[in-house]
Chains A and B, each alone.
Chain A
């Protein structure tokens, strides 16, 4: 049972344009959502997060939007840069950390110069 889903395995975006990565979840008990970024041959690194009590969180070029009624979140990167090329994992956690972190399958983002 895949509780966190990233339906787009890959995405290509022109440098300077907006990248939008999407994530859907099924568990209504999730109360914190995160995005991790992973370069080849490296471990994932935390990028940005959002609490279920908010609908938007912004950090520089990165903004995460949460639509609880649709059980959907998205990561916006603007403007996209070549260094943003990586695999992005959506993740969620429930019960204020008493449940384990659940990851999606990832989306490979390629920024075209």
Chain B
């Protein structure tokens, strides 16, 4: 069964360092999402791509976060510099198209701890 691949699974970094997360969506899925889930809260959308274009990045802290999906396939989410409050699970999801019904396929996530 096709899956969304994410790496690394776990990342521990110090405050002010740079971190990057990678996501490979299910083959053929045009829409890719990055979500952040803080412990005790639900996932919150950071950025949505349709192919290589950003559709929604209204909740992305653009002073320190960046995301790209250059060839419309895999994607990278970068944080520079990392802050203590960035400790969270970063989830990538994909769907065949912008899903009217909200059914997304999530990866296993990348857990970030900022010390």
Contacts and interface: CB of A to CB of B under 8 A. Distances in A.
Contact of A42 (B45, B103, B108): B108
Contacts of B106: 43-45
Contacts of B91: 43-44
B25 interface: no
Interface stretch (B14-22, B66-74, B93-101): B93-101
Contact of A34 (B4, B98, B102): B102
A84 B109 CA distance: 21
Contacts of B4: 43
Given A32-B102, A49-B103, A100 B42 contact: no
A58 B105 CA distance: 21
A46 B108 contact: no
Interface stretch (A11-19, A64-72, A74-82, A102-110): A102-110
Nearest to B103: A46
B91 to A, nearest CB: 5
B42 A105 contact: yes
B41 A49 contact: no
Interface string B73-109: 0000000000000000001010000111111111111
A97 B98 CA distance: 7
A91 B107 CA distance: 17
B42 A104 contact: yes
Contacts of A43: 4, 91, 93, 106-109
Interface of A: 4, 9, 32, 34, 41-46, 49, 51, 89, 91-93, 96-98, 100-101, 103-106
Listed from nearest, the 10 A-B pairs whose CB atoms lie closest are: A103-B42, A43-B106, A97-B100, A93-B102, A96-B100, A101-B102, A100-B45, A46-B103, A44-B106, A103-B43
Given A103-B42, A106-B40, 10 more contacts: A43-B107, A43-B108, A45-B106, A46-B103, A89-B43, A93-B99, A93-B101, A97-B98, A97-B100, A100-B45
